[in-house]
């Protein structure tokens, strides 16, 4: 049964397998027309197996276990029904905790299909009022709710192709005569049919396809994820991805399914139409022996068709040709980034100006200099490749005399535990943290704020698991109050709290995003602003300008008082226990930030 306004036409603000921040979306987002307080119905007979209250994530959430082994989840609720709410409130007061995660027996709250279990809301990390609805199988894998064929959703619109990207995947591969990503816009050629602005793409060698595409439904402007994507070459299937179910252990693999490096640079999410490294065993991939990667031979023509399907069976096809041409000469019509490098697979790749008299670059490794020629040349710009398996360069001397110092420290394998030790930092990668082998670059810099930045040059590296970083400041004795100093990620002029703790003169923390980190002291207390105060309720706004809120505690005449926390609005609102008739006496609110700074607010309510 549809959970909100059943038997009434409805629309979604989010679909299954959408590409969200660091994860696949694991259900559907049911629209509530920007309202809260709509009845939320049990989808089938069963019992409430779990109730969770949290300031982030799904916020107020109910999990109902059903007779066939499936579980349905209802998230971002404003409140539970009276019986469940009373039970949850009782436990919150017993534990003196706003956040609770309760597992219940089948006899406590049995439900029938259609029973009202809660009211819709905007709690947790919701971006607006809606109900997040999931269906999970007995193995806790998320299933696509739309596969159950809800008539409340009208979808007669097939997936839409916006762009196709062509990617060289090996040293000798070329797209339009050079080693470069080529993006081509798509256009409609008929009902649910698309072509490309460049109908015949020239290429050579091992290449991959990536797509920028979306799905739509009737009457809404929202875009959704795809249910199924297939690639056919000369009408032979070379790749298929089908999101009928997703394991929560694989939720973060979204960063590997899309081109994460390109997303970090452009904020555009391109879906890979080939199986990436590190995806072995993921059930939603089906592919040929080449894992969807295409080897384009010189002189041959390949008819390519990309078929996209949504959960309601609407299908669209995008067709184009790839012509194999090993000898095509490229002409760059755009600026090329010079005197810098990137790492792809096991190669360091860099562009540099060449001349008639100087066409070679020098790669210096352990006091030896290797002269290399460019792999591709366009006008006076060469593209150079260095195989990092030969050695990690200390420096690159370009043909124009410019020297680059890559600061690459080590090769990190993906399938084993790996630790690296350095005078300025240590880092530990557990097995499976990386999707593929990477090369770790590191340097330290002193800022104009008299701070030391620790730069792990991989902000565009997707991590599946947390890595442990240990920072070794150059002058730890100058840090007077270590208890207030923590690691922060540096984003331009902004800082993001990364946490951690001191172990002697070394600061240790865990992260799933690399980049630039800085040790920063926080001595500022949180702020508390009361917006309502009477005998029935008290509402406060709390905030912290640096490390962020860690905890809060409220009492009335010395007894613990439940304060519901909405993190996105930074609002605390009181909720009395069933034994309380009103709020009278001394109210005390203590708010603590992540650096241990406390602010205390006291008032008397009459």
DSSP secondary structure letter of residue 258: B
Q: Which residue, chain included where needed, has tokens 């409805």? A: 10
267 CA to centre of own chain: 12
pLDDT at position 345 over 60: yes
Model pLDDT, residue 334: 57
pLDDT at position 117 over 60: yes
Model pLDDT, residue 394: 94
pLDDT at position 182 over 90: yes
pLDDT at position 9 over 70: yes
Residue 278 lies in a domain: yes
Helix-, strand-, coil-residue percentages of the chain, each rounded to 5: 5, 50, 45
Residue 155 lies in a domain: no
Q: Are 38 and 120 in contact (CB under 8 A)?
A: yes
Mean pLDDT of the chain: 94
Token digits for 254?
């979204």
Asked if residue 258 and residue 225 are part of one domain, the reply reads yes
Cα 244 from Cα 284, distance rounded (Å): 8
> Where does a domain end: 148, 169, 195?
148
Residue 207 lies in a domain: yes
Model pLDDT, residue 73: 98
Residue 571 lies in a domain: yes
Give whole-number Cα distances, 28 to 16, 33, 153, in Å. Answer: 6, 15, 11
Cα 354 from Cα 366, distance rounded (Å): 25
pLDDT tens per residue across span 405-464: 999 999 999 999 999 999 999 999 999 999 999 999 999 998 776 789 999 988 899 999
Cα 448 from Cα 561, distance rounded (Å): 46
Model pLDDT, residue 24: 96
Asked if residue 511 and residue 560 are part of one domain, the reply reads no
Asked if residue 211 and residue 272 are part of one domain, the reply reads yes
Confidence of residue 335 (pLDDT cuts 50, 70, 90): low
Asked if residue 418 and residue 385 are part of one domain, the reply reads no
Run of H or E residues at 214: strand 200-214
- The candidate with the shortest Cα–Cα distance to 553, out of 598, 584, 594, is 598
Q: Is 515 left (phi over 0), alpha (psi -120 to 50) or beta?
A: left
Model pLDDT, residue 450: 74
Largest CA distance in the chain: 90
Residue 503 lies in a domain: yes
pLDDT tens per residue across span 582-599: 999 999 999 999 999 999
Token digits for 238?
């070379």
Asked if residue 192 and residue 132 are part of one domain, the reply reads no
Backbone angles phi, psi at 17, to 5 degrees: 65, 20
**Domain of residue 427, CATH code:** 2.60.220.30
* Half-sphere CA count of 111, side-chain side, radius 13 A: 29
Residue 555 lies in a domain: yes
pLDDT at position 186 over 60: yes
> Where does a domain end: 483, 502, 521?
521
Asked if residue 563 and residue 512 are part of one domain, the reply reads no
pLDDT at position 575 over 80: yes
User: Please, which residues bridge with residue 236 across strands?
Assistant: 233
- The candidate with the shortest Cα–Cα distance to 181, out of 319, 342, 381, is 342
Q: Which residues contact 8 (CB under 8 A, 6 or more apart)?
A: 152
Model pLDDT, residue 332: 65
Asked if residue 231 and residue 368 are part of one domain, the reply reads no
Model pLDDT, residue 428: 98
Which segment of 154-158, 326-330, 462-466, 582-586 scores lowest on mean pLDDT?
326-330
Q: Which residue, chain included where needed, has tokens 């360069």? A: 393
Q: Model pTM greater than 0.95?
A: no
Cα 312 from Cα 153, distance rounded (Å): 9
pLDDT tens per residue across span 252-261: 999 999 999 9
Asked if residue 294 and residue 205 are part of one domain, the reply reads yes
Model pLDDT, residue 29: 97
**Domain of residue 240, CATH code:** 2.70.50
Average pLDDT over residues 473-490: 93
Confidence of residue 381 (pLDDT cuts 50, 70, 90): confident
Pick the more confident residue, 458 or 269: 269
- The rounded percent of the chain whose pLDDT value lies above 70 is 99
Beta strands in 106-168 (DSSP E): 110-111, 116-120, 130-136, 141-143, 160-168
Terminal CA-CA length for the chain: 48
Asked if residue 268 and residue 345 are part of one domain, the reply reads no
Residue 334 lies in a domain: no
Q: Are 139 and 283 in contact (CB under 8 A)?
A: no
Q: Is 191 helix (H, G, I), strand (E, B) or coil?
A: coil
Model pLDDT, residue 227: 93
pLDDT at position 376 over 90: no
Number of domains in the chain: 5
Give whole-number Cα distances, 312 to 17, 38, 144, 150, 481, in Å. Answer: 15, 26, 11, 10, 60
pLDDT tens per residue across span 43-73: 999 999 999 999 999 999 999 999 999 999 9
Q: Are 64 and 135 in contact (CB under 8 A)?
A: no
Q: Which residues contact 36 (CB under 8 A, 6 or more apart)?
A: 78, 119, 120, 121, 122, 129
> DSSP string covering 368-394, please?
EEEEEE-SEEETTEEEEEEETTT---S
Asked if residue 177 and residue 60 are part of one domain, the reply reads no
Average pLDDT over residues 14-38: 95
Model pLDDT, residue 502: 96
Residue 304 lies in a domain: yes
Backbone angles phi, psi at 525, to 5 degrees: -75, 155
Model pLDDT, residue 458: 82
The pairing of strands 46-53 and 110-111 is antiparallel
Asked if residue 596 and residue 569 are part of one domain, the reply reads yes
**Domain of residue 536, CATH code:** 2.60.40.760
- The candidate with the shortest Cα–Cα distance to 562, out of 549, 575, 580, is 575
Model pLDDT, residue 225: 87
> Where does a domain end: 115, 148, 181?
148
DSSP secondary structure letter of residue 275: P
Other CB atoms within a 10 A radius of the CB of residue 280 amount to 10
Asked if residue 435 and residue 359 are part of one domain, the reply reads no
Model pLDDT, residue 336: 67
Cα 350 from Cα 337, distance rounded (Å): 9
**Residue-number span of the structural domain to which 535 is assigned:** 527-605
Token digits for 152?
């409340």
């Amino acid at each position: 049964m549809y959970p909100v306004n059943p038997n009434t036409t409805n629309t979604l603000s989010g679909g299954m397998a959408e590409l969200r921040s660091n994860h696949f979306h694991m259900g559907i987002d049911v629209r509530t027309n920007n309202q809260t307080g709509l009845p939320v119905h049990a989808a089938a007979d069963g019992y409430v197996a779990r109730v969770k209250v949290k300031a982030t994530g799904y916020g107020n959430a109910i999990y109902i276990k059903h007779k066939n082994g499936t579980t349905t989840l209802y998230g971002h609720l404003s409140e539970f029904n009276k019986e469940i709410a009373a039970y949850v409130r009782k436990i919150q007061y017993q534990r003196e905790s706003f956040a609770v995660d309760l597992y219940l027996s089948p006899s406590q709250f049995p439900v029938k299909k259609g029973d009202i279990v809660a009211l819709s809301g905007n709690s947790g990390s919701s971006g607006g009022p809606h109900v997040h609805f999931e269906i999970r199988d007995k193995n806790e894998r998320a299933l696509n709710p739309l596969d159950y064929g809800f008539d409340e959703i009208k979808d007669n619109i097939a997936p839409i192709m916006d762009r196709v990207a062509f990617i060289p995947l090996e040293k000798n591969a070329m797209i339009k005569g050079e080693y470069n990503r080529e993006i081509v816009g798509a256009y409609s050629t008929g009902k649910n049919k698309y072509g490309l602005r460049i109908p015949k793409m020239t290429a050579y060698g091992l290449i991959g396809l990536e797509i920028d595409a979306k799905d739509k439904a009737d009457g809404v402007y929202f875009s959704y994820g795809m249910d199924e994507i297939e690639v056919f070459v000369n009408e032979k299937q070379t790749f298929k991805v089908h999101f009928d179910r997703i394991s929560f252990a694989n939720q973060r693999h979204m960063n590997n399914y899309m081109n994460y490096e390109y997303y970090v640079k452009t904020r555009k999410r391109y879906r890979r139409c080939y199986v990436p490294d590190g995806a072995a065993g993921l059930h939603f991939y089906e592919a040929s022996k080449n894992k969807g990667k295409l080897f384009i031979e010189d002189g041959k023509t390949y008819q390519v068709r990309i078929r996209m399907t949504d959960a309601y069976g609407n299908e669209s096809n995008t067709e184009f040709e790839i012509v194999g041409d090993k000898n095509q000469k490229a002409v760059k019509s755009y600026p090329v980034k010079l005197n810098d490098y990137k790492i792809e697979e096991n190669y360091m790749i860099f562009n540099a100006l060449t001349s008639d008299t100087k066409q070679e670059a020098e790669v210096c490794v352990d006091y030896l200099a290797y002269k290399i020629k460019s792999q591709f040349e366009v006008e006076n710009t060469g593209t150079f490749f260095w195989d990092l398996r030969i050695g990690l360069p200390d420096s690159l001397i370009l043909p124009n005399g410019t020297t680059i110092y890559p600061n690459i420290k080590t090769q990190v394998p993906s399938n084993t535990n790996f630790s690296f030790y350095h005078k300025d930092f240590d880092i530990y990668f557990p097995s499976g943290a990386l999707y593929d082998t990477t090369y770790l670059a590191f340097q330290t810099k002193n800022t104009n704020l008299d701070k030391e930045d620790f730069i792990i040059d991989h902000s565009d590296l997707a991590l599946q698991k947390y890595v442990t970083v240990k920072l070794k400041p150059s002058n730890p004795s100058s840090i007077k109050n270590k208890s207030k100093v923590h690691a922060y990620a540096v984003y331009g002029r902004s800082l993001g709290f990364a946490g951690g703790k001191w172990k002697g003169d070394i600061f240790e923390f865990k992260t799933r995003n690399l980049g630039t980190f800085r040790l920063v002291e926080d001595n500022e207390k949180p702020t508390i602003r009361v917006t309502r105060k009477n005998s029935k309720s008290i509402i406060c706004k709390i905030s912290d300008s640096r490390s962020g809120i860690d905890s809060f505690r409220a009492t009335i005449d010395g007894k613990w008082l439940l304060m519901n926390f909405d993190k996105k609005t930074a609002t605390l609102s009181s909720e009395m226990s069933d034994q309380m008739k009103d709020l009278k006496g001394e109210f005390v609110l203590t708010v603590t930030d992540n650096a241990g700074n406390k602010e205390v607010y006291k008032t008397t309510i009459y």
